[in-house]
Amino acid sequence: MWQRLTMSVLAAVVFGAAVSLAIPLKASTTANRYSASSQSNHFGPLTLRSDGTFQISVLEDLHFGENAWDQWGPQQDINSVKVINKIFDKESPGLVVLNGDLITGENGFLENSTVYIDQIVGPLVSRNLTWASTYGNHDYDFNISGDAILERERNWRNSRTSPMISGSDAGVSNYYLPVYDHGCVNEHTCSPQLILWFFDSRGGFRYQQGTPESRVGQPNWVDRSVVDWFNSASRSLTKRYRKTIPSLGFVHIPPYASYALQDAGVDPNKEPGVNDDVPLAPQAQGWCPDGSNNGTCTYGGQDTEFMQAISHTEGFMALFSGHDHGDTWCYKWDRLLPGMDVTPANNVSLCFGQHTGYGGYGNWERGSRQVMVSKSGLAKFEADTWIRLESGNSVGRVSLNSTYGQDRYPRTNDSMTYCPTCEY
């Protein structure tokens, strides 16, 4: 289901040039990339607003560069830029998260597969917004890699994507960003109010390995080395600041627990959202337990350590994923689920966002999940969230608090694409 289904139909659209107003800085070098994990950048550290709140807008599955060779493809990118602009006409976040599948990598040409980054970030740069990325399975292919995307996005000072671990099996977008209190100018003297964790669930294919006809698959789960890093980094943060710091996580492919929760039943009034991708595609789908993917296994269980880690880290409130374009709910993982052997010690909400791009499969109305925390809410490990749609409407507003999963909310309308010229 993560294959795009749109290839065959061509809309009668006006062909327009892709314009980016953003002006890149000098290119970063690959040599300093992993050492330059400057969490506070040109824009300074991330901080709460003066009223004690902090908002995040999640853009996911943008799928730029799809069908780059025909008229349909570039037109979808123009439509996606319009979606981004419409969202930020309504929302003013402190951070934008690009949560994977920025580009449809299998359609890319080696010489220019990452140029679409410029088009994606144009609306963010012109609004002086900063962003942080995770990379998705379509960001890894024969002609594109997480490293190449990182290099392109780091041409802008607005990018806070700053990998903290290296290794060919770790993926690229693994790091954390602290959010400090309002007024913090020097992060060395401030104590974080919130930690944002970014994980790379990899997948897709290895860059320039094998041949174009026979590409080499890359495992599609958060690697063990990343889990070890997360466990040790979160422990040292707790020790250093002598407190449990509330945290949120972002990863492109949802963990298997999302699959098990969906299987247990999504209640449209308790977990409001679209639930059309059934069953959803989780991490480690299609791989065998021994790490081979010869097409015979449906799920290999390799995300078990990751699920163990996030559900045993005190203060880890919620994990946000994309990947399954037709699922947009949040579900509190608060119990041992059938088919699993991880029992959460710390309840964690597993949330999908909303398909943002016009590339990629499905024509559910485009949009973006918003996450809002406040100082008073963080004291209780609570976050609020809703989805801002391209139409300007917001849907699925819920509070991820201690009674989430019992509280009743209005159902989310399963609305389809808003753009009348984008039907396909």
Return all residues near 245 (Cβ < 8 A) that are at least 6 apart. Answer: 178, 192, 193, 194, 195, 237, 238, 315
| Rounded distance between C-alpha atoms, residue 212 and residue 217, angstroms | 12
205-211 and 214-217 as β-strands: parallel, antiparallel, unpaired?
Answer: antiparallel
| Rounded distance between C-alpha atoms, residue 264 and residue 120, angstroms | 37
Q: Which amino acid is at 267?
A: D
Measured from the CB of residue 130, what is the shortest distance to ligand NAG in angstroms? 8
Which is nearer to ligand NAG, 33 or 215 (by Cβ)? Answer: 215
| Cis, peptide link before residue 246, omega less than 30° from 0 | no
Handedness of CA 143, 146, 151, 154 (dihedral sign): positive
Measured from the CB of residue 315, what is the shortest distance to ligand NAG in angstroms? 11
Token readout for 350 is: 């597993």
Measured from the CB of residue 285, what is the shortest distance to ligand NAG in angstroms? 15
Cα 74–171–169 angle (5° rounding)?
Answer: 135
Asked if residue 235 lies in contact with residue 315, where contact means CB atoms within 8 angstroms, the answer is no
Which is nearer to ligand NAG, 116 or 230 (by Cβ)? Answer: 116
Which is nearer to ligand NAG, 34 or 43 (by Cβ)? Answer: 43
- Per DSSP, the residues of 315-342 read TEEEEEE-S-TTB--EEEE-S--TT--P
Q: Coil, strand, or helix at residue 403?
A: coil
Q: Which amino acid is at 71?
A: Q
Asked if residue 279 lies in contact with residue 261, where contact means CB atoms within 8 angstroms, the answer is no
Which is nearer to ligand NAG, 315 or 353 (by Cβ)? Answer: 315
Measured from the CB of residue 278, what is the shortest distance to ligand NAG in angstroms? 19
Rg (CA), the chain: 20
| Rounded distance between C-alpha atoms, residue 251 and residue 322, angstroms | 8
* Alpha-carbon distances, residue 90 vs 202, 269, 368, 394 (angstroms): 32, 25, 11, 10
Measured from the CB of residue 34, what is the shortest distance to ligand NAG in angstroms? 25
Binding site for ligand NAG (CB under 6 A): 43-44, 68, 109-112, 115, 128, 142-143, 212, 288, 290, 292, 294, 296, 334, 346-347, 399, 401-403, 405, 407, 413, 415-416
Measured from the CB of residue 47, what is the shortest distance to ligand NAG in angstroms? 9
Asked if residue 324 lies in contact with residue 281, where contact means CB atoms within 8 angstroms, the answer is yes
Which is nearer to ligand NAG, 34 or 187 (by Cβ)? Answer: 187
| Rounded distance between C-alpha atoms, residue 213 and residue 113, angstroms | 18
Which residues share a beta bridge with 178?
195
Which is nearer to ligand NAG, 3 or 112 (by Cβ)? Answer: 112
Cα within 13 Å of Cα(351), Cβ side? 33
Q: Coil, strand, or helix at residue 137?
A: helix
